[in-house]
């Protein structure tokens, strides 16, 4: 399925590049999802050879960011969400957030009018069924706004019913607010194979190990070791989705043996990396239309 342009009118000054592409983030940044009070609207974007970075912004409507190809990273006040292909991150309305999409990525943004569907009041990742994916892609192709009664409105009704059934996934990395802890989280996100211990970090920050452990638990709700495991998980999923081997991923996130990495992965997600990828491929091919 070819990439479509924004289907809602955008703010003045939006670059128009023809009917078949939205190749860079300027169109996404200037797209206004709140211009019409319709239950749902959609925007389908691809990055081409560029990395897409949409800086911090917010809008009245809730947003579901669906990764079709590549990996989406969404940052909200309470944490970082890593979204591999065929998953989505839900961002409630009026919540400041930024989005990052890897080079060669494809993403679909679904905007939901407040009150159109009961959705979580907090950010979360959702599994996306082939049916929901195709409904969103189809909506992105249709003229909007649309009449309250008609084919598009009926499609939106089915779409919202399917969305309400989507299960959540554990792809969230809570981020600390304390500036001292931000130093740790920024360093580990940049270099996930950094194996410095809690004691070593405490020494670097000139505080006791006990104080640092308490601060991390307070800000993230997790112990340091559990928080780092979650970091390794979300980074590993991104790398696996990009086609990296399990052996290479285990090395990149700092595990000395691939068996230790597989054990961690299975403990947190209940399945091995290979099975996880197999299930995602089965989900991807669950519909023969435009999802890859």
Containing H/E element for 98?
Answer: strand 97-101
pLDDT of residue 109: 93
Q: Vertex 109, ends 160 and 138: CA angle to 5°?
A: 60
Q: Does pLDDT of 218 surpass 70?
A: yes
Q: What is the mean pLDDT of residues 30-48?
A: 85
137-182 per-position pLDDT tens digit: 999 999 989 999 999 999 999 999 999 999 888 778 888 889 999 8
Structure tokens at 17: 């590049």
The CATH number of whichever domain residue 62 belongs to comes to 2.60.120.280
Residue 209 lies in a domain: yes
User: Are both 165 and 179 inside the same structural domain?
Assistant: no
Q: Are residues 73 and 131 both part of a single domain?
A: yes
Residue 162 and residue 37 share a domain: yes
User: Structurally, how many domains does the chain consist of?
Assistant: 2
pLDDT digits (tens, 9 = 90+) for 221-276: 999 999 999 999 988 987 887 788 999 999 999 998 999 999 999 998 889 998 98
| Domain C-terminal end among 138, 169, 200 | 169
Asked if residue 236 and residue 162 are part of one domain, the reply reads no
- 23-35 pLDDT tens trace: 444 455 567 888 8
Domain boundary among 120, 142, 169: 169
Structural domain contains residue 4: no
Q: Indicate if 40 and 143 belong to the same structural domain.
A: yes
**3-class secondary-structure state, position 148:** coil
CATH number at residue 191: 1.10.10.60
Residues 250 and 191 in one domain: yes
pTM score above 0.85? no
What is the pLDDT, as a whole number, of residue 133?
93
- Give the tokens for residue 37: 């009070």
pLDDT value of position 168 = 85
Per the DSSP assignment, residues forming a β-bridge with 286 are none
Task: Kindly state whether residue 6 falls inside one of the protein's structural domains.
Answer: no
Estimate the share of the chain in helix, then strand, then coil, as percent rounded to the nearest 5: 40, 20, 40
Residue 162 domain boundaries:
25-169
Same domain, 82 and 138: yes
CB 43 within 8 A of CB 62: no
């Amino acid at each position: 399925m070819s990439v479509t342009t924004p289907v809602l009118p955008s703010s003045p000054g939006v670059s128009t590049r023809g009917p078949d592409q939205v190749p860079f983030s300027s169109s996404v940044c200037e797209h206004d999802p709140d211009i019409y009070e319709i239950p749902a609207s959609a925007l389908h974007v691809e990055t081409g050879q560029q990395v897409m970075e949409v800086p911090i912004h917010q809008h009245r409507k809730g947003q579901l960011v669906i990764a079709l190809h590549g990996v989406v990273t969404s940052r909200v006040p309470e944490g970082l969400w890593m979204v591999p292909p065929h998953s989505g991150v839900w961002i409630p309305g009026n919540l400041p957030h930024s989005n990052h999409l890897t080079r060669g990525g494809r993403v679909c943004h679904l905007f939901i009018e407040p009150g159109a569907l009961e959705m979580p009041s907090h950010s979360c990742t959702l599994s996306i069924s082939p049916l929901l994916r195709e409904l969103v892609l189809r909506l992105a192709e249709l003229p909007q706004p649309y009449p309250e009664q008609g084919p598009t409105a009926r499609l939106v009704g089915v779409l919202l019913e399917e969305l309400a059934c989507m299960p959540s996934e554990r792809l969230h990395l809570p981020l600390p607010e304390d500036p001292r802890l931000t130093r740790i989280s920024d360093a580990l996100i940049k270099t996930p194979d950094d194996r410095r211990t809690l004691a070593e970090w405490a020494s670097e920050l000139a505080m006791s190990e006990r104080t640092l452990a308490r601060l991390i638990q307070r800000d993230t709700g997790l112990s340091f070791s559990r928080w780092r495991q979650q970091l390794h998980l979300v980074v590993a999923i991104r790398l696996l989705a990009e086609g990296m081997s399990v052996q290479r991923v285990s090395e990149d996130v700092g595990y000395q043996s691939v068996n230790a990495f597989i054990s961690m992965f299975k403990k947190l997600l209940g399945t091995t990396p290979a099975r996880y990828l197999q299930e995602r491929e089965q989900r991807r091919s669950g519909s023969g239309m435009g999802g890859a």
